[in-house]
A and B are shown apart, each in its own frame.
Chain A
Amino acid sequence: MIENLHLLINVSLLAFLVLIVFAAINTNNLFVATMLFGIFSFVTALLFLDLDAVDVAFTEAAVGAGFTTVLMLSALRLTGAFENVKHRHSVLGLLIVVLTGAALIYGTADFPSMGDANAAVHLNLAPEFIQLTQEKIDIPNVVTAVLASFRGYDTFGETVVVFSAGVAVLLLLGMGHVEPKQEPEQNIVLWIVVKPFIALILIFGLYVQFHGDFGAGGGFQAGVIFASGFILYSLVFGESYARKVIPSSILPRFAALGVIIYGVTGLASLLGDKPFLDYNALSSNPVSGQHIGILLVEAGVGLAVFATVLLIFYSFSGVNHNE
């Protein structure tokens, strides 16, 4: 019964997604397309929740529906909101898309049916990870254990990619600057509503950061949530005030520091005669060594993601280097 309900939700959410993308194709207004894309991300997050991927749903809601939308709107402010009306309906493009789609659908005939517990993907590795997490790491959230410990190399690489993206945006746009005397808009209602919200968002960010071992959450989500608190502050009280709270020059250093924390944790296990990122070396008790290691690398990830996200926002919102 419950499984049927899951299936029903699954099917209707997928139908929503198709409708949203159709609407996005048909609009010439890029603001509308951007907002539709935000809704698309949010529905995707709900779908992930329905498919048991709670951590992924969390990330998609914070990153996809939240930050990406703000970022695209900031970019639209600089590039203009309307698409050229001479929209080319490419017949060749349509043909390519239909043919590729047909070939891919033909390929899915060999796929295992959804939810099949005997599919190849579930038989190797995953049962081991679930078992080893209970034996060797002893934290409830298997996703965090795999992310930070078993597959710590990958996560280190991804943190470096996020950092590099921040550096790339900085090189392309610079940090910009804002007029220091610019007074914030006098909107008492917004001020009073937003102030407690910001405090709640920051506390929630810290909760997600440190509770990631036990429930859904972790450094990636926490970094974005923490940054979104400051982005909200910047949107309501004005960019120049936000830059007084967190100066733009400090952000690249924070981002680098996050990556360094992760890397140094890996090097520390080398000193204990263990492989890179093997946290057993961090304490005499292997299990508490794992706990310390996961805490440290998650802190590194959180700091790097927070600083990079805020840095990218500053770059886009303060850009005026052309003149």
Chain B
Amino acid sequence: MNELLGHFNYWIVIFLMMMGLYIVIASSNLIKKLIGLGVFQASVFILYITFGKIKDGSPPIITENVEIYSNPLPHVLILTAIVVGVATTSVGLALIVRIKEAYGSTDEDDIHDMDDNDDFDIKNRSIT
């Protein structure tokens, strides 16, 4: 039972990671793909924080009468990773907005079709 619960977090993390990956593969909408990447990223965060946990530990803020502190190092890594993650997500969203302006679509399949069509004029968003 303890063995099972001790690895439960890892299994769920991998499950979430794979669901995120599946959204990236199966969805043709670019924004949905970004959401999938976000889920993937969040599952990595959970993995790191799970590593940092110590049984009966306290948050790593020095207090009297506390002996065991959870590991602060993964916390630092993930704290900054979250902020960098939102920064990169915003760059991705900005790219999608520009793609929408150029192609009139955020659907990957449509965009590929337009690219394959030699007569497609990107400036007028139409087939000449």
Contact = CB atoms under 8 A, between A and B. Distances in A.
Contacts of A312: 87, 90
A130 interface: yes
Nearest to A162: B87
A298 interface: no
Given A140-B62, A319-B97, A108 B7 contact: yes
Interface residues of A, number: 104
A47 to B, nearest CB: 6
A115 B58 contact: no
A83 B49 contact: no
A113 B62 contact: no
A64 interface: yes
Contacts of A75: 31, 93, 96-97
A34 B34 CA distance: 10
- Residue from A52, A78, A104 having most chain B Cβ neighbours under 10 A: A52
Given A3-B55, A83-B32, A129-B72, A100 B26 contact: no
Contacts of A173: 94, 97-98
Given A53-B52, A169-B94, A172-B95, A30 B87 contact: no
Given A72-B93, A161-B87, A88 B71 contact: no
A101 B54 contact: no
A18 B19 CA distance: 9
Given A126-B72, A151-B76, 10 more contacts: A48-B49, A52-B57, A53-B52, A63-B83, A76-B31, A87-B28, A101-B18, A114-B9, A168-B91, A220-B82
21 contacts: A18-B15, A24-B23, A30-B31, A37-B35, A44-B42, A47-B46, A64-B42, A72-B31, A79-B100, A79-B106, A88-B28, A97-B21, A104-B14, A105-B14, A108-B10, A109-B7, A116-B54, A168-B91, A172-B94, A214-B61, A218-B79
Interface of B: 2-3, 5-12, 14-23, 25-29, 31-32, 34-35, 38-39, 42, 45-46, 49-63, 68-76, 78-80, 82-91, 93-98, 100-101, 106-107, 109-110
